[in-house]
Structure 1
Amino acid sequence: MLAELATTPLQFDTPFAGELFLVGRLLFGVTLAFMGLNHFLDVDGMAGYAEFKGLPAPRFSVIASGLVLVVGGLGVVVGAFPVVAAGGLAVFLLGSAVAMHDFWSIDDPEDRQNEMTSFLKNVYGAGAALALLAVGGTAWPYALGLGLF
């Protein structure tokens, strides 16, 4: 018989746990915020790609997704509204993985590999966002501590 699984509250009482959690948030959040900034720096190019992929309102989609990436990424970094930030990032990353990086529908092997790589990046990013979402209601070390929950 399997032992009963129990959850314990998130604890940062091991050496450097809080600092490592901060470094992880920095790596994750700054990378996504930078990606979002790129949306604003190349709106026309990205809107063309979004239109090619069949997204409705491609220019608006690029700007909105850039905003989600910048605000969500910075929210994770500073620990402000982490449930909203991580949840928004998870939804965006999963949605864009399927809508924008549909490698299964590409015939050219090189293009298929590029889309698969982008798809997988979005999926593992969504996994990280979901992990942060799971602990979003707890106190984060080195964080502003602003939140809804």
Structure 2
Amino acid sequence: MQPFGHTLTDTDIRALFNSAHGWEARYKELIKLARQLPPLADADKTAANAIHGCESQAWLVSELVREQDGTERWQFHCDSDARIVKGLMAVVLAALNNKSAADIHAFDIEAYFAELQLLPHLSPSRGNGLRAVVEAIKESCKS
């Protein structure tokens, strides 16, 4: 399950946001990312998949994939009824999707957000919602 139809990594997001000068350009990139993220099926938009802590409606579906060589990686699909939240989810997915649980827990998400210069431009509730998405992902892949 590649949420974008191809692999999009945190390195890709860093390059994208480093070339976007100013908050308005970053905001436009978030909206573009939101458009690329396919919607969840209505059947997956359940209370069990709801992300709590977001002021918008948001959902997370996770799946553990076991490769033939025994390695495990987590795949996530997120959706929201708010475009900016969906764009922020795309940024998180680029960093954490298709990784092992250990890699997900070791990833310095706060440094990533700081490098992208996102949090200073988000309302406190959006920032909390963004962290809620990350916490939901980490919670879903606890060993």
Going by fraction, where is strand more abundant, 1 or 2? Answer: 2
Using the size of structure 1 for normalisation, the TM-score is 0.30
Whichever of the two has the greater Rg, that structure is 1
Using the size of structure 2 for normalisation, the TM-score is 0.30
